[in-house]
Structure 1
Amino acid sequence: MKITDVQLTAIGMPRLTGFVNKHVIVQLFTDEGIEGIGEMSDFSHLPKYAVDIVDLERTLKQILVGKNPFDIAPINTELNGNFPEAMYYYEKGSFIRNGVDTALYDLCAKALGVSVSDLLGGRQREKIKVCFPIFRHRFMDEVEANLELVKKQYEKGFDVFRLYVGKNVDADEAFLAGVYNEFGGKVKVKSLDFSHLLDWKEALRITRRLAKYPIDLVESPALRNDFAGLHHFRMRCELPVSEHVWSLRQQSEMIKHDSVDIFNIAPVFIGGITQARKAADAAAVAEKSVLIGTTQELSIGTTAMAYFGSTLDHLNYISDPTGPELYVGDVVKNKVNYENGYLHLPERSTIGLGMELDWEKVEQYRVESLNWEDVSVHQLQDRTAQTRA
């Protein structure tokens, strides 16, 4: 079997907040009539430059056409050479490699007539506990709206939340007080996510202030790639510390510095399921726990993460993929399934990813480019449609 063509389709999917995220749907075609689909998730991140989708499609055709899709390892080696790791959290090359890698797994599993989880070695679980994100407070008057959001999501079955912190600590504290006063032990805030916005000393000061409320862990409490600072924070903080893995070199440095307790691994940030499995194996060797991270993918990307997470025996913390719940729509006929705060995998009898494109929805959300238009940096950080001075 050979890959005969590559097609990329850009879409702009609005979040419930009004912010529009740009994604790219990947289709790989073969001479046997089998098609694989993938998702380059959420190009709407810093750095603020746009990928030229026409040029990208042409480049991927040069790399992939004529290849055997089962050559996943050598194809990933070539993709790494064309879109190398850059030691940056939101490196767009990782998003590109992730979309292609997902499509390869979908294609190969379909060719074999098995689920992607079978291709990855089998399942250790049928569902993954996840948390719903509460985005960063910049103003005190946002607290009440976020408490209402917790109430709404709790009624839908989500009882664990992840709080982005560090811009308005008074508002962060007011939110935590409101959550535990209203819900008591029925709701839990899993983590304080600093997103590398502060140095480790300031993050530690804020953590000590907010940790009087029940919190499971702290995430990204140092400046990006400050491995020593992350270690200093961990040695002074009683809560477990988590950090995203965005390159194998960066993960190696965190292991050398003993910087974290938990590796946050998401295929989108490290360049696909193939690389994510390497990161998970490295975490196991280093005797570290794992949770599954997210950039808030659509259903294709989220399902790929669910298959990846289902194979891990050291997935010891609540994970993050709730992206399909944050958007007004999707581009597939069968969205991923959440029940009682769990992301459920498709049935074991499912072939491939189990995702089928809905072309009416694809056309509804199709955009011509990944250009930025007039989106501000604050909008990118807060994932909102509007920002205030």
Structure 2
Amino acid sequence: MIKITDLRLTVVGIPRHTGFVNKHVIVELFTNEGITGIGEMSDFSHLPRYAVDIKDLANVLKSMLVGKNPFDISLINKELLDNFPEAMYYYEKGSFIRNGIDAALHDLCGKYLNISVAELLGGRYQEKIKVCYPIFRHRFIEEVEENLEVVRQRYAQGFDVFRLYAGKNVDADEAFLDAVQQEFGSEVKIKSLDFSHLLDWKESLKIVKRLSKYDFEMVESPAVRNDFDGLYHIRTRIDHPISEHVWSNRQQYEMIKRDSVDIYNISPIFIGGITAAKKAASAAEVVGKSVLLGTTQELSIGTAAMAHLGGTLLNLNYTSDPTGPELYVGDVVKNKIQYIDGYLHVPDRSLPGLGVELDWDLIEKYRIDDLSWGDVTVHQLQDRTAQVK
């Protein structure tokens, strides 16, 4: 019988094109059968601003996992949740940890059975997922032209849908939307105004009304975190659908009970793994709601996990967000996840597990010692910029 015999965690720091360096943890689960499962604890470079001791974490996880059958995914996830509980916060580090282990378990089991993770999850409903490219928040009017140039470059690469982080400088947001409309017309679409919980619902409502003369598909996170009534209030006052991340079972329950949102933003990183994300998507389906795939902008391992998950979802009806591998200057795999004409493609079913292979030359290039914090500001952490102008 296959058993987990060891675990290794490797920290990498990879710059985005903005200059901001994101720290990720590569997970390897070793077995007595010689098969290794890989996963990714993505984006530890975000609030809350505390660091995990990587050596201590590895020892804790070894004590939980060594000797276990990797196919006991539900049992292992329960133990992970007991040790790294939900905290009603979507950048909670415990969710990142659970996500990395759960992905590695799925990769390991898929490899053992010689099937892809999508098949392990129940089979493919679609082979590609429409995605959008993020436009980061305007703080100054001078950034409008910079972001227009991002649209031009990414449009030339096949991305024709964009997500605008909005609400900090509304004059700049409006200038950007107007310029996109004037230059591209219907060839470029704006998926959403994403307020990222930085404003209360009344402030967001004013901005949505002001910008509603432009064409965008939805409004995301337009209330402070866990303000379920606020989400309902703005939802009943605008014509656009409301989307919100799911970061815990309790939080999703509260949103369902209040009918707070139209679209559930599901991402393994925020809710703690493929297993938990699949449950959240199923809960949305039960109450007649659609989902989209969210992101913290993962590398190719984490993005492959989301692609496999998304390929199985019947209620994935909206443009999704995972374009992380396109935002970084490098990666850690030999076969980077593929984007073609604005679609994220699920790895070929002939590739077992997640369908990506570690590149140790790249890992050594980006390897760092730990997850300690440097001298960064809250604005940098929110907007993923190297410096604040």
**Could you say which TM-score interval applies, normalised by the shorter chain?**
over 0.9
Matched, 1:22 2:23: yes
Q: CA deviation at 1:376?
A: 1.0
Q: Give TM-score scaled by structure 1 length.
A: 0.99
Query: Partner residue of 1:143?
Result: 144
Q: Write the mapping of 1:196-207 to structure 2, written as runs, cut at 5 A.
A: 196-207=197-208
Q: Give distance in 1, aligned partners of 2:191 and 2:236.
A: 20
Matched, 1:113 2:114: yes
The percent of aligned pairs where both chains have the same amino acid is: 72
Query: Partner residue of 1:97?
Result: 98
Question: What secondary structure does 1:197 align onto?
Answer: coil
The amino acid that maps onto 1:43 is F
Please say if residues 133 and 163 of structure 2, whose CA atoms lie closer than 8 Å, have aligned partners that are also in contact.
yes
Q: Give distance in 1, aligned partners of 2:260 and 2:223.
A: 10
The amino acid that maps onto 1:262 is I
The amino acid that maps onto 2:39 is G
Q: Write the mapping of 1:218-297 to structure 2, written as runs, cut at 5 A.
A: 218-297=219-298
Q: CA deviation at 1:345?
A: 1.2
Q: CA deviation at 1:245?
A: 0.1
Query: Partner residue of 2:308?
Result: 307
Please say if residues 307 and 347 of structure 2, whose CA atoms lie closer than 8 Å, have aligned partners that are also in contact.
no
Q: CA deviation at 1:375?
A: 1.2
Map Cα deviations across residues 272-331 of structure 1 (whole Å, 9 max, x no partner): 000001101100111111000000000000000000000011111000000000000000
Query: Partner residue of 1:358?
Result: 359
Q: CA deviation at 1:158?
A: 0.1
The amino acid that maps onto 1:178 is A
Aligned residue-pair number: 388
The amino acid that maps onto 1:300 is I
Map Cα deviations across residues 230-285 of structure 1 (whole Å, 9 max, x no partner): 10010001100000000010000000111000000000000000000110110011
Q: Write the mapping of 1:1-389 to structure 2, written as runs, cut at 5 A.
A: 1-388=2-389
Q: Give TM-score scaled by structure 2 length.
A: 0.99
Q: Give distance in 1, aligned partners of 2:94 and 2:382.
A: 20
Q: CA deviation at 1:211?
A: 1.1
Q: CA deviation at 1:349?
A: 1.3
Q: CA deviation at 1:350?
A: 1.2
Q: Give distance in 2, aligned partners of 1:300 and 1:374.
A: 28
Map Cα deviations across residues 215-234 of structure 1 (whole Å, 9 max, x no partner): 10000000000000110010
Q: Give distance in 1, aligned partners of 2:49 and 2:350.
A: 42
Q: Give distance in 2, aligned partners of 1:372 and 1:171.
A: 31
Q: Give distance in 2, aligned partners of 1:331 and 1:215.
A: 34
Q: In structure 1, list runs of 5 or more residues that go unmatched.
A: none
RMSD: 0.5
Please say if residues 42 and 302 of structure 2, whose CA atoms lie closer than 8 Å, have aligned partners that are also in contact.
yes
List structure 1 segments (4+ residues) > 6 angstroms apart after TM superposition: none
Please say if residues 11 and 23 of structure 2, whose CA atoms lie closer than 8 Å, have aligned partners that are also in contact.
yes
Farther-moved stretch of structure 1 (347-356 vs 132-141): 347-356
Q: Give distance in 1, aligned partners of 2:68 and 2:169.
A: 51
